[in-house]
Amino acid sequence: MTAQGLVENRSTKEKLLAIVFLAVPAMIENILQTVVGFVDTLFIAKVGLLEVTAVGVANAVLAIYLAIFMAMGIATSSLIARSIGAGDMAKAKAVAKQSMVIALAVGAFFGLLTLVFAEFLIGLFGAEARVVAEGATYLRIVGIPSVFISLMLIFGSILRGAGDTKTPMNVAWGINLLHIPLDYVLIFGVGDWTGWGVAGAAWATVIVRIIGTFALYAYIQKSAVSFSLWETTEAHSMFSTLFALAAPAAAERLIMRLGQVLYFGLIVVIGTKTFAAHTIAGNIEMFSYMPGYGLAVAAATLVGQYLGAGKIKEAYQYGLLTMGVAVGFMSVIGVFLFLFAPWLAALFTQDPEAVRMVAVALRIDAFAQPALAVGLVLTGALQGAGDTKSPMYSTAIGMWLIRIVGIYVLGIYFGLGIAGIWLAIALDILIRAIFLFWRYRHLFKKLIQEEQKSLPFEIKRAEINKGS
């Protein structure tokens, strides 16, 4: 979507179509990644439980890497969207090129870190020696070429910032369709070859990421934000701006990850079966996030582009309208979770007590779905507007002051168990949604007031008269 394509005074139906056009491919891409991760775990579980634990610990380390790379992606898509909205294609291309340079540097740094400290990083989780050995094997194979993780995320963010969510989805289709059979063959082998086990799973992941990286780069070179690796331009440096936007986003994701480690420890204190039930409920709930993530991408792109074009009211309206769509969509999911909670739980376990606890968790979570929709979409909208600090503050307050304290007080002190855990999570989601909604309205109220102050007197009077 170019600056010329940003139409003012669209009908609500036209705005909804624009939102859906951007959101649906992003939703499908997220669902694909979730399904493939599920299949990957299923295959490794056939090898053995020790291997599942090893890969799980290695992925916990890789999740920290991903937090940094995704933060860079948020900064990249935000700046590109606003640059395109302002009609400054030279700046959009500069952001794309410079973000790739940063991705190369950061990816190489984490690759070197993995090469030297793989066993140490796995050992931080207190795993036994065999788990450390298997986990370090997986981590080295996937983590040393971290540059392909960072580049693939950045290239996808460049295209999404330019309003193209279909291409990342199409690439995800291709590589994920390849990933499943490749994963199977490299883990279990074929014919007389018995495969590589955990190492095979790692190599399958690396191979498809390399293919995905080059595919996305090829698509970028055919897009409006194509750039040359070798030509030097006089375009302004965006390195400091990219880092300024990425730092709070990275901090937000790291705060979330560290908080998860702590509250997982609290849940283990309550009981092993409670932790298992919580994990199952979390895996089921993960699918409810997919529509919210897709709509968050749409909100970030549309808000960023319309703000870049100086159409502040339209940007504000797009954020609220996308939020409304998400609330409607995820409320339906909430009804489904409430009605079918025991059936969904029974897909994972036949233990009656575990099924009961999972059902309790999902039914509490069902009521949190509308607030979750608000939080996800407004996080995207604020990031699209260049505000990456507010989501960081909401995560810090929600995770450390509400969720962790709430799990201790409700789950442990008052002995509510799984119900206390998920009530604390629901309260965290609700308070974050309220804070982000307030912040979003406050930000745009300020922007509109500043715009009004800068208008010539004749235009300002006309605006006032029109409003009255």
Q: Which pLDDT tens digit goes with each residue over 202-239?
A: 999 999 999 999 999 999 999 999 988 776 654 567 78
Secondary structure of residue 311 in the 3-state scheme: coil
Residues 110, 252 within the same domain: no
Mean pLDDT to the nearest integer, 100-126: 91
66 found inside a domain: yes
The size of the chain, in residues, is: 468
Residues 98, 32 within the same domain: yes
3 found inside a domain: no
2 found inside a domain: no
Confidence of residue 48 (pLDDT cuts 50, 70, 90): confident
233 found inside a domain: no
Structure-token match 């935000």, residue found: 78
Residues 213, 326 within the same domain: no
* pLDDT value, residue 4: 43
* pLDDT value, residue 5: 53
pLDDT at 72 exceeding the cut of 80: yes
Phi, psi of 430 (to 5 degrees): -65, -45
Residues 150, 257 within the same domain: no
Phi, psi of 190 (to 5 degrees): -150, 140
Average pLDDT, the chain: 87
Q: Which of 227, 257, 281 is the last residue of a domain?
A: 227
Distances (CA, A) of 58 to 130, 131, 132, 318: 13, 10, 9, 39
* pLDDT value, residue 218: 96
Residues 344, 212 within the same domain: no
- Choose the weakest-confidence range: 94-108, 112-126, 270-284, 334-348: 270-284
* pLDDT value, residue 434: 97
Confidence of residue 458 (pLDDT cuts 50, 70, 90): very low
Number of H helices, E strands in the chain: 16, 0
Number of domain units in the chain: 2
Residue pair 58/139 in contact (Cβ under 8 Å)? The answer is yes
369 found inside a domain: yes
* pLDDT value, residue 467: 43
Residues 161, 182 within the same domain: yes
pLDDT at 150 exceeding the cut of 80: yes
Written as six digits, the tokens of 364 are 């509490």
* pLDDT value, residue 456: 59
- 43/104: higher pLDDT: 104
Per-residue DSSP letter, 385? T
1 found inside a domain: no
Residues 192, 56 within the same domain: yes
- Choose the weakest-confidence range: 18-27, 230-239, 418-427, 448-457: 230-239
Q: Which of 188, 208, 227 is the last residue of a domain?
A: 227
Confidence of residue 76 (pLDDT cuts 50, 70, 90): very high
Residues 397, 248 within the same domain: yes
Among 137, 191, 177, residue whose Cα is nearest residue 39: 177
- Choose the weakest-confidence range: 164-168, 313-317, 464-468: 464-468
Q: For residue 275, what are the domain limits?
A: 238-468
pLDDT in tens, 409-420: 999 999 999 999
Secondary structure of residue 50 in the 3-state scheme: helix
Residues 250, 201 within the same domain: no
pLDDT at 465 exceeding the cut of 80: no
Residues 48, 97 within the same domain: yes
Q: Which of 208, 227, 246 is the last residue of a domain?
A: 227
pLDDT at 144 exceeding the cut of 90: yes
Residues 167, 274 within the same domain: no
Residues 426, 465 within the same domain: yes
45 found inside a domain: yes
Report the C-alpha gap between 373 and 369 in whole angstroms.
Answer: 6
DSSP 57-109: HHHHHHHHHHHHHHHHHHHHHHHHHHHHHTT-HHHHHHHHHHHHHHHHHHHHH
pLDDT at 175 exceeding the cut of 80: yes
